Structure 1
Amino acid sequence: MKKYYILSLFTFFCLQAFAQSSLLQSGPMVGYSDFLEVALWVQTTQTAEVKIVYFEKGKPGSRFETDKVRTTSQKAFSTHLIANKVQPGKRYEYELYINNKKVDRPYPLEFQSQFLWQWRTDAPDFKFATGSCVYINEPEVDRPGKPYGGEYEIFTSIAKQKPDFMLWLGDNVYLREVDWNSRTGVYHRYTHTRSTPEIQSLLGSTHNYAIWDDHDFGPDNSDRGFANKEITLEAFKDFWANPNYVLGNKGGITGTFQWNDVQFFLLDNRYFRTPDRNRLGDRTMLGQEQFQWLIDALIYSKAAFKVIVIGGQVLNTAELEENYTDYGSEREKLLNAISEAKIPGVVFLDGDRHHTVLSKLDRPGRYPLYDITVSPLTSSSHEPKNEPNTVAVPNTLVAERNFAIIEFKGPKTDRKMIIHIHDVKGNEKWKQEINANDLK
């Protein structure tokens, strides 16, 4: 009788655990980090009450909770949670609760608050992962033929590098023909991609920031004329946990964040973009207000490195539809402003092109500008044969699925940015180093 009771009790708890796990669609995901708060995100399969319990790593005795939030179908049962009892420079473990029941995950759940180094010490070393173009196959609606996506194990390879955060460079989902004309379709695509099993451990213990490009904004090569851009903007904000959207009710996903002594400027190259085939009047990729905000923010910034993050290539000299060279007057205006305002430490970081390459623009009397293109993660790759990119750095072209780990190391007097490009399995393809002293 006692054995029967113990077996029944064990079965009951197993069923309870399964019931709670079945309510989890994807996540939890760690979003932005600051000194006194950290954002988290989770998606359930139906309406449910969620919360996060967290504690300093190795010290489970002192526990804190986020507010409880009820998920709703309006946001595809996704929600943001704020851990606002953290202290600077600490690592935390956390637990997910759905309907007051703990949901265990088969990988660590951790986050960190930013380190308060200002006026105290040199900025700490750190590293982040980055890449673009995430295509997750769904045969029922994909185009016939060879699957466009694959090698999802790349996300496991990224997680093994233990970056402080992951910066997603756009085309983080690929909206299909069945998706972009309806809210139902857009949220289905986000849910389908975010639920990929191989992504979950990366989301759970690495901070995540993102921009978008055409395929998560709308159709291929889409621009400000896309009718449903407010729907895709809403979905972006629902599924990512960036710290800010600086243009407010003017639209777009433009924002910024700082990690130690590096500031990242997250640009929107779609929401305000003149259509590629519209050759009438002034053409813009960024729009007047976003452009002016960027220049003001760059001038104000005291960061050692100022990383401008954008969906498409900036320095590539080939006049292609998806490159900034196709918006030549605005591109020239941006590069001139960086020179004339004597803004130090600018580096461009982008994706989109389905290959990785480092470009370097030498400027007479000024420091050189670098453009790091990292693509693709899981979509098909493309080798740009005979493309006239006259500023490409030799031996940096990678025409296969890959990702980057970018480190910032060294004291204030000798701060370095080290770029590592890795293949799907994590093997290093090439490495390049940029010294902050050479960007002044």
Structure 2
Amino acid sequence: MRRLFLLLFPLFFVTCRSAKEAASTVSGPDYVIAFGSCNNQRLENVLWKEILKNDPQVWIWGGDNIYSDTDDMEVMQQHYKNQLTQEDYREVRNRTTILGTWDDHDYGVNDGGEEFPAKQESQQLFLDFMRVAENDPRRNREGVYHSELLKTPKGTIKVIVLDTRYFRSGLTEAKERGKRYMPGPYGKGTMLGERQWQWLEEELSSSDADFNLIVSSIQFLSGEHGFEAWANFPHEVARLKQQVSGSGAKGVIILSGDRHISEFSMAEIPGLSYPLIDFTSSGLTHAYTQFTSEYNPYRIGEVVSEISFGLLRFDFDRKQVTMQIRGRGNKVLGELVQKY
């Protein structure tokens, strides 16, 4: 059985319960959102049926929605078609609203950023896959960032989707053995690009939603592992923390993917009256099953290193979100309950 965590902070509480405890205590959400990442279209995704058992109103792609490391757009288009023809995913499309972003493998190049020469063409294929209308602003601007306000009888949820690929500067190669990247010089480089940063600031400061979800394809809080993470641009980490704390936005939660593991990370941010949670859900068709350990000072609970998806169950009366990592058989593998 997984360990029980109970942490008390001013003005809020958070609990992390075992899978057995979680399965017996959660009931009756007002709204359900499922999300996930790292979906190889060449592999069978056995989780789509399990996802639908939870009756989510929304499915959010967290990136690597297909694996298509290519600048040949005909090849990439065929990979998207392969995903769209999968029967179980068609059922997800029919029963939920689809939102989301891309990561590197559906962008077109592993660990790629602003230097990718086919990014404009790749963007259009991604928007086609997401069924984005031809008159949508994303069709005529750089980057796939987007926001959506979800209205329910009891309250609202704002989903703010970031693009951490199109504008991202080059990464600094690590000098330490076993790591791929390390933080670059403070103040050098960008994760989002200035135009997207200004857009994000407005989205947060103008939001009066009860909950605000920020979708980032890569992890925000965990950054010691030496792979892609916001931590490779430390000044960008500081900027997002400042934007969140200074915006007055309620119930901000970051959703991330990329790592082929799932976990909860949490940090106290100066000026913010609740903890900032980074909920990582990865991967849908393949996972880092050989995972043994990895330092993450913000981790709450344990790492899940088997295929899984993320679930958020919103309770507007209690101002509470139950976040769950679920896997085969719809089994709860980890849970975090946060009251705002």
- The TM tier, using the shorter chain, reads 0.7 to 0.9
SS at match of 2:90: helix
Task: Please list every run of 5 or more consecutive structure 1 residues that lacks an aligned counterpart in the other structure.
Answer: 1-123, 138-148
SS at match of 1:258: strand
Determine the structure 2 residue equivalent to 1:238: 128
SS at match of 1:184: helix
Determine the structure 2 residue equivalent to 1:371: 278
Determine the structure 1 residue equivalent to 2:162: 267
Aligned residues: 295
Determine the structure 2 residue equivalent to 1:193: 83
Cα-to-partner distance string for 1:123-160 (whole Å, 9 max, x where unaligned): x92101111110122xxxxxxxxxxx44x221111122
Once the two structures are TM-superposed, the CA of residue 342 in structure 1 deviates from its matched residue by 4.0
Once the two structures are TM-superposed, the CA of residue 424 in structure 1 deviates from its matched residue by 2.1
Judging changes above 3 Å, is the alpha-carbon distance between structure 1 residues 292 and 319 closer, same or farther for their aligned structure 2 residues? farther
In 2, the alpha carbon distance for the partners of 1:134 and 1:232 equals: 17
Question: Matched residues, percent identical?
Answer: 28
Is the 1:421–1:428 contact (alpha carbons within 8 Å) kept by the matching residues of 2?
A: yes
Judging changes above 3 Å, is the alpha-carbon distance between structure 1 residues 129 and 340 closer, same or farther for their aligned structure 2 residues? closer
Once the two structures are TM-superposed, the CA of residue 186 in structure 1 deviates from its matched residue by 1.2
Once the two structures are TM-superposed, the CA of residue 433 in structure 1 deviates from its matched residue by 1.1
Judging changes above 3 Å, is the alpha-carbon distance between structure 1 residues 199 and 402 closer, same or farther for their aligned structure 2 residues? same
Of 64, 67, 71, 1:181 maps to 71
Is the 2:322–2:336 contact (alpha carbons within 8 Å) kept by the matching residues of 1?
A: yes
Matches within 5 A, 1:140-219: 149-150=43-44, 152-176=45-69, 180-219=70-109
In 2, the alpha carbon distance for the partners of 1:431 and 1:380 equals: 19
State the one-letter code of the partner of 1:435. Answer: K
Judging changes above 3 Å, is the alpha-carbon distance between structure 1 residues 433 and 221 closer, same or farther for their aligned structure 2 residues? same
Instruction: Kindly indicate whether residue 234 of structure 2 is the aligned counterpart of residue 328 of structure 1.
Output: yes
Cα-to-partner distance string for 1:180-235 (whole Å, 9 max, x where unaligned): 12221111111112212332222222221121110110111111111111111010
Task: Please list every run of 5 or more consecutive structure 2 residues that lacks an aligned counterpart in the other structure.
Answer: 1-28, 174-183
Is the 1:128–1:163 contact (alpha carbons within 8 Å) kept by the matching residues of 2?
A: yes
Of 389, 392, 401, 2:307 maps to 401
Once the two structures are TM-superposed, the CA of residue 276 in structure 1 deviates from its matched residue by 1.3
Is the 1:276–1:321 contact (alpha carbons within 8 Å) kept by the matching residues of 2?
A: no
Judging changes above 3 Å, is the alpha-carbon distance between structure 1 residues 185 and 248 closer, same or farther for their aligned structure 2 residues? closer
Bigger CA radius of gyration: 1
Judging changes above 3 Å, is the alpha-carbon distance between structure 1 residues 206 and 342 closer, same or farther for their aligned structure 2 residues? closer
In 1, the alpha carbon distance for the partners of 2:250 and 2:242 equals: 13
Determine the structure 1 residue equivalent to 2:328: 424
SS at match of 2:299: coil
Cα-to-partner distance string for 1:359-395 (whole Å, 9 max, x where unaligned): 0002355321110000100133355544221000023
Cα-to-partner distance string for 1:243-299 (whole Å, 9 max, x where unaligned): 796566440101000112110101000000102148587211111110111011100
Cα-to-partner distance string for 1:295-321 (whole Å, 9 max, x where unaligned): 111000001111110100011141633
Of 249, 253, 261, 1:355 maps to 261
Is the 1:245–1:254 contact (alpha carbons within 8 Å) kept by the matching residues of 2?
A: no
Is the 1:422–1:429 contact (alpha carbons within 8 Å) kept by the matching residues of 2?
A: yes
Of 136, 139, 148, 1:257 maps to 148
In 1, the alpha carbon distance for the partners of 2:84 and 2:138 equals: 26
In 2, the alpha carbon distance for the partners of 1:333 and 1:383 equals: 34
Is the 1:245–1:255 contact (alpha carbons within 8 Å) kept by the matching residues of 2?
A: no
Once the two structures are TM-superposed, the CA of residue 161 in structure 1 deviates from its matched residue by 1.9
In 1, the alpha carbon distance for the partners of 2:334 and 2:227 equals: 28
In 2, the alpha carbon distance for the partners of 1:248 and 1:329 equals: 30
In 2, the alpha carbon distance for the partners of 1:223 and 1:364 equals: 30
Cα-to-partner distance string for 1:3-34 (whole Å, 9 max, x where unaligned): xxxxxxxxxxxxxxxxxxxxxxxxxxxxxxxx
In 1, the alpha carbon distance for the partners of 2:136 and 2:162 equals: 10
Superposition TM-score, scaled by structure 1 size: 0.63
In 2, the alpha carbon distance for the partners of 1:237 and 1:127 equals: 24
State the one-letter code of the partner of 2:33. Answer: F
In 2, the alpha carbon distance for the partners of 1:254 and 1:269 equals: 9
In 1, the alpha carbon distance for the partners of 2:99 and 2:269 equals: 31
SS at match of 2:304: coil
In 2, the alpha carbon distance for the partners of 1:415 and 1:246 equals: 33
In 2, the alpha carbon distance for the partners of 1:248 and 1:171 equals: 20
Judging changes above 3 Å, is the alpha-carbon distance between structure 1 residues 418 and 211 closer, same or farther for their aligned structure 2 residues? same
In 1, the alpha carbon distance for the partners of 2:310 and 2:232 equals: 26
